Amino acid sequence: MRDRANSPLQVINLCATLIESRNPEEVETVERLRRSLSKLQGLTEILAETDVWRETYEAGGDISKEIDKTFSKLV
């Protein structure tokens, strides 16, 4: 899941950099893009943790503890 998210995030980052360099007056727009990008990167990190859930489940473990760990990061 994380790998699929990386390319679009890289494109957004590249676009923000291009806007910033070509249109320096668009500071507010670029800041908004970068804040959104940061939030999306945080979400992809959480999604990456679902791999641990799957691995734990496949090993016959209790995934509820892993799920609790992940969601405690959101609070």
Residue 34's pLDDT is: 95
Per-residue confidence of the chain (75 residues) as pLDDT tens digits?
566 667 888 999 999 999 999 999 999 999 999 999 999 988 888 888 888 888 888 899 888 888 888 878 776
Please calculate the CA angle 50-53-57 and round it to the nearest 5 degrees. 150
Separation between Cα atoms, residue 61 and residue 50, nearest integer Å: 14
Q: What's the pTM value of the predicted model, to 2 decimals?
A: 0.67
Separation between Cα atoms, residue 51 and residue 12, nearest integer Å: 25
Can you read off the two tokens belonging to residue 20?
A: 């910033």
Separation between Cα atoms, residue 29 and residue 25, nearest integer Å: 9
Residue 72's pLDDT is: 82
Within 8 A by CB and 6+ apart from 1, the residues are: 44, 47, 48, 50, 51
Residue 3's pLDDT is: 64
Residue 1's pLDDT is: 57
